[in-house]
Amino acid sequence: MRTVLVTGPGGAGRSTLAAATALAGARRGARVLLLTTESSAPETVLRSRLRADVATAIAPGLRARRIDSGDRFRQEFLAFQERAGAALDLLGASPLDEDELTELPGSEAFALLHALRAEHSSGDRDLLVVDMPPAAETIRLLALPAQVRRYLRRLLPPERQAARALRPVLAQLAGVPMPAQKLYEAAERWERELAVVQRVIEAPGTSVRLVTDAGPVAAAALRDLRAGLALHGRRTDALLVNRLLPTGSADPFLAALSGGQQTALKVLREEFPDLPLREVPHLGRDPQGIEDLAELAEPAAPAEPDDQAEQEEPADATGPVTARPDPWTVVDRLATDGILLWRVPLPGARRDGLGLVRRGDEIVVTVGPFRRIRTLPSALRRCTVSGAGLRDGVLDIRFTPDPALWPAGPERSS
């Protein structure tokens, strides 16, 4: 399944162009689902036609589904409360009823990730277009599965679960399920679910599409966002520049506005020469229905079959989802320079916004407001960080072998 995650700065029109992207795919013969949330559903285009958690036919080949994050939160909370019933009884807790539950902040993010996983498992679509939250929130959302899995491994290490065979015996002796048993069972369940979601996000057929307007600060804002996406290994496949005014107007006011947009367009092309840039016209009104979406659909169409994204092996929607190769690669320069390089693609990153810290067997990379913690490959754990440099959108982290840890060569071991 091909998955396009549409995002961008708030107010750029990402929800409308997500719908236009989905419509374009359907008009090219694909079975398409548009996935959106209550807070981001296109206000005047589709929201009134969408029902919660029901795939609604919008046009031939196109269905749309609005995620009901509140209902999912209630169902998940009630299920957790039932599973933890014995432990809660020990604490003297009073269970909550469904009608007194109100969803907490952040529940929409988990509902969106769950829906993304579920649609990939169904295998009923050729193209899934997801109307994502604003870009900074999307970056953190897409990083969430890997981060939570890391937290689980640190707080509940798998090796500590070796003694879990004793827990049923202890539970029988105590007469109630052991809280630790429930805790590890929950951790194992979360690990399985999060691993599948992470593979969907990292699948070769999944990419991010950025939507922006042609304002004076568009390039600067997108620079940090694209670097943040790259930091977490997310591929950006296109840049959609929305609401472009026609050029050559005789009206001085419109001519000045259009001139400013064309200047911003030029800057965007220079800043992102490797990204397909697609111009989306201003309709002169807010989009009101499918007919208006059709006018926007062609510029927002998914990548053509000969584009790089379609040459990659598609994710298997019915079986295990295959992840794309890790973009962070280790380059061996021991023979020539005595170092190993860990190459991190960071298009759009700037030196003044970079941070790099090693903590034991992990390295912390910061790009602007975004941070990622990675476990070092085994070879690099036996090295010390000897420097780093950013050039042409690639961060090279230099590692020098630690003589106390690095295996001796043939001449040293003889």
Quote the CA–CA distance of 228 and 348 in Å, as a whole number. Answer: 9
Least confident of 89-98, 250-259, 260-269, 383-392: 89-98
Residue 161 has pLDDT above 60, yes or no: no
| pLDDT number for residue 413 | 39
Q: Residues 272-298: pLDDT tens digits?
A: 999 999 999 999 888 877 888 888 876
Average pLDDT of span 149-153: 86
| pLDDT number for residue 182 | 65
Run of H or E including 26: helix 14-27
Tokens of 331: 């380059």
Q: Which CATH number fits domain 329-413: 2.60.40.790, 2.102.10.10, 3.40.50.740, 3.40.50.970?
A: 2.60.40.790
pTM of structure:
0.84
Residue 201 has pLDDT above 80, yes or no: yes
| pLDDT number for residue 77 | 66
Residue 202 binned pLDDT confidence (cut-offs 50, 70, 90): very high
Least confident of 70-79, 263-272, 275-284: 70-79
| pLDDT number for residue 307 | 43
Q: What is the pLDDT of the chain when averaged over all its residues?
A: 82
CATH 2.60.40.790-classified regions of the chain = 329-413
Average pLDDT of span 198-205: 93
CATH 3.40.50.300-classified regions of the chain = 2-311
DSSP 52: B
Assigned fold of 2-311: Rossmann fold (3.40.50)
Q: Residues 209-247: pLDDT tens digits?
A: 999 999 999 999 999 999 999 999 999 999 999 999 999
